Amino acid sequence: MTTPVRLRDVTLRDGLQLTGQLLDARTKVGLARFLLGAGIDELEIGAMARPDLVPPMANTVEVIEALTPEERQRCWVWTATPRGIARAVAAGAQNVQYCLSVSDAHNRANVGRATTQSMAALPEAIDIAALGGARVQLTLATAFTCPYRGAVDPQHVVNLVSDNRTAGISSVVLCDTLGQATPDQVRQLVSRVHEVAPEHEIVFHGHDTWGLGVANTMAAIQAGAAVVDGALGGLGGCPFAPGASGNTSTEDLLFALQPAWLTPSVFSDVVTAGAQILARLGEPNRSRAAEGARSTADVFPWVT
């Protein structure tokens, strides 16, 4: 790729949230440090979600507190309310996501309120983060399709991003929550958002439900996305998005993008780490690059 792009691994948040298993904080912190040390630009490390609804996120505060300030600079914490942001910032988070759904039906299912209510609370969330010296990223779930209402009008996304209340955010995440978007749809939406809000970085968060995770991510980059999301082994999914599968695989994105820091040896280490965490969770490995790395074509340098 000729355009610089950052990769964010979301294994510790979006990846874990559907597994039903609470990994201990020490394991989470160890994986975070491995990924950061390997060269991954940024991470999602947890969520300020109710532990009774999303048990794997119950020890997020402990994870935040265990990381160094330098590590936290490259880590994001998911929230959906000003109170969640206050808790994350109090624990030491320097980057917080404020999530709402473009689809009102999904927002009600996901965070228990209308999209308009979530937007109304955004200025308070930004103020709380600013007092704690943290950045806010506006995360727009169901930016393409909704599991309850179907296709989402791109104009709804544009209206939210161009709303005056988003003035204090640092970036915006466009989520293909169900993995039903096509590369052309991704390219068009990222381009429109880039036009109406050029001051905000665009993050593309894709799922691989229909096998287009990598293709959609490449389309997003070509249209101006500065950051793209992936999870080890394609782990993940939304508990309130029936029909969605895991995230686009971090391993697949690494192989497609091949950033300057990535060597076959580092790639092998990431593939191994992904396989180990998935085996521990009892989850299938959906990464095609990880499968390719295990092939017998040993003259290809990326085979591990």
Residue 243: what pLDDT? Answer: 67
CA distances from 134 to 10, 13, 162, 174, 287 (A): 19, 19, 22, 21, 33
Query: Distance between CA 103 and CA 169 in Å, rounded?
Result: 20
Residue 3: what pLDDT? Answer: 58
Structural domains in the chain? 6-294 (3.20.20.70)
Q: Return phi, psi of residue 295, to 5°.
A: -75, 175
> pTM score, two decimals?
0.96
Q: Return phi, psi of residue 62, to 5°.
A: -60, -40
**Does 2 have pLDDT greater than 60?**
no
Condensed to tens digits (0 to 9), the pLDDT of residues 194-221 reads 999 999 999 999 999 999 999 999 999 9
> What percentage of the chain has pLDDT greater than the value 70?
97
Residue 21: what pLDDT? Answer: 86
When pLDDT is averaged across residues 246-273 and rounded to a whole number, the result is 96
Condensed to tens digits (0 to 9), the pLDDT of residues 18-38 reads 888 899 999 999 999 999 999
**Does 181 have pLDDT greater than 70?**
yes
Q: Please, which residues bridge with residue 207 across strands? A: 247
**Does 53 have pLDDT greater than 90?**
no
CA distances from 194 to 76, 125, 171, 190, 224 (A): 22, 23, 11, 6, 7
**Does 117 have pLDDT greater than 80?**
yes
Query: Distance between CA 231 and CA 42 in Å, rounded?
Result: 12
